[in-house]
Structure 1
Amino acid sequence: MNENYLEVIKILSSKRRVNAFVRELSFEQIEQIISNLQDASVERIATLEKERQQEQERNEKLKTYIEMMKKDGIDVEDLLGATQAKGVERKDRLPKVKKEPKYEYTREDNTVAYWTGQGRTPKAIAQAIQSGQSLEGFLIQK
């Protein structure tokens, strides 16, 4: 929270500070502040009530699901264990195939590196292309 926000909370939380604050205001300003606070309060209460209602509905659904599972002979702990099982492989996913590098280049630190041609172009290759060299010059000879 920023300092101004904290200062407003400090003033509004103390009756003595509120009295000192409103002494400096016109009647119209006080009425406007009261109206704004009432509107904000009504909105906040409505939001809290809606959240409470959603939480209550969620809890009722959970109770219903638990009862359904009990009826079918499923224990909640069994369900949690099944969803958290380690090493469960997805059958619908193909294994990743490592691509063979197509290009060979020398880094700034004079180490040799390889690039498959996919993803971001390595800095050394990008600089060489900008200076007029061709990408084919980096192809690995097989």
Structure 2
Amino acid sequence: MSFTLSSLKNIRSLRAQARNMATEDLTEILEKLKVVVNERREAANATAEEAREKAEKLAMYRELLLEDGISAAELVNNLQPAGSAKKKRAPRPAKYKYTDENNEIRHWTGQGRTPSPIKNAIAQGQSLNDFLI
């Protein structure tokens, strides 16, 4: 809290500060403080009202579930998280065929890191098109 606000909370400091001020200025400050206090009270009341309405709605939904014979646990267990059901993309078809160091035939989609046998062959002058399926 700043020094100014903490001095407003201390009656002795407040009296000392107010001694050098005109009554009109003190009245203006008082009116502004009343406005601030009323705004804070209204905000707190609005928050409390929202919480009360939410609690009423929850109680109503709880009663509806109990009337239908559904427990809250059943309801929660049957809910699926929104957005987490991401579809996995289909695997890409292979575009290139090459023989690795163990003389095994391998396939490459053309995505990701280039396999070292293909990289070595390109370095020796071959074309990537030579490996097309």
1:43 is aligned, of 39, 45, 48, to 39
Task: Name 2:30's counterpart in structure 1.
Answer: 34
* Alignment TM-score, normalising by the size of structure 1: 0.56
Structure 1 segments unaligned to the other structure (5+ residues): 105-111, 113-139
1:24-103 equivalence runs, <5 A: 24-83=20-79, 90=85, 93-97=86-90, 100-101=110-111
Inter-partner Cα distance in structure 1 for 2:61 and 2:45: 24
- Number of residue-to-residue matches in the alignment: 99
Percent of counterpart pairs with the same letter?
Answer: 20
1:106-117 equivalence runs, <5 A: none
Structure 2 segments unaligned to the other structure (5+ residues): 93-109, 120-126
CA deviation after TM superposition for structure 1 residue 19, in Å: 1.2
Is 1:22 aligned to residue 18 of structure 2? yes
Q: In angstroms, what is the RMSD of aligned CA positions?
A: 3.0
* Alignment TM-score, normalising by the size of structure 2: 0.59
Task: Name 2:8's counterpart in structure 1.
Answer: 12
CA deviation after TM superposition for structure 1 residue 21, in Å: 1.9
Inter-partner Cα distance in structure 2 for 1:50 and 1:9: 26
Q: 1:97 to 1:84 in 2, by over 3 A?
A: closer
Q: 1:82 to 1:76 in 2, by over 3 A?
A: same
